[in-house]
Amino acid sequence: MVVVTVTIMASNPTSKLTSEGALRAFYIVELLRSTGEREFPAQLMSIFFWIAAHDGCRQEDLAKACNMSTSSVSRCVTWLGPRHRIETRSGLKLVKRERDPSNHRAWRLFLTPKGRVFANLLEENAKCRIDPVTDAPRFTKAQKEIEAYDKTDEDLG
């Protein structure tokens, strides 16, 4: 798999920060893109964020919560998991799917170790104040932590 490194550029120090929330969202999107997906669709973000917030949720509940068709959710979960629907592409390995022990036809969705690292980085960065000049290196370091998982052939369990 080819890992694409996205370097987050610090905002121009001469420009005034007008929205910390927008800058935080920008950094989060760039962290998502550091997984190797340069075009990280909003549906995929929504699915990942819901699973990160509700680790162990049922896939059918996710479809209702995100207001998506079950087929869209399934495609996104597969993409967030070990494989992509396009055979030549690898999945992001952020999520794993397990059979629900109480209903063998249902799936439970969990973060992988890589997914947990990513969710922890999001949580950590959501709690601190952002400085557009000094925080770009911190987010670049977070990207490197995520990319380190791509360089290993880690089990999704």
Give me the sign of the Cα torsion angle 34, 36, 39, 41: negative
pLDDT at 137 over 70: no
Question: For the segment 34-54, what is each residue's pLDDT rounded down to a tens digit?
Answer: 777 777 888 999 999 999 999
Of residues 91 and 155, the one with the higher pLDDT is 91
What pLDDT band is residue 129 in, cutting at 50, 70 and 90? Answer: low
Domain parsing of the chain, residue ranges: 20-150
The per-residue DSSP string of 65-103 comes to HTT--HHHHHHHHHHHTTB-SSTTSB---SEEEEEETTE
Of residues 22 and 112, the one with the higher pLDDT is 112
0.75 exceeded by the pTM?
Answer: no
Q: Between vectors from CA 38 to CA 32 and to CA 41, what angle results, nearest 5°?
A: 65
Nearest to 77 by CA among 91, 56, 64: 91
- What pLDDT score does 57 carry? 94
CATH class of 20-150: mainly alpha
b/e map of 60-74 (b: 16 or more CB within 10 Å)?
eebbeebebeeeebb
- Top mean pLDDT of 3-7, 20-24, 44-48 is at 44-48
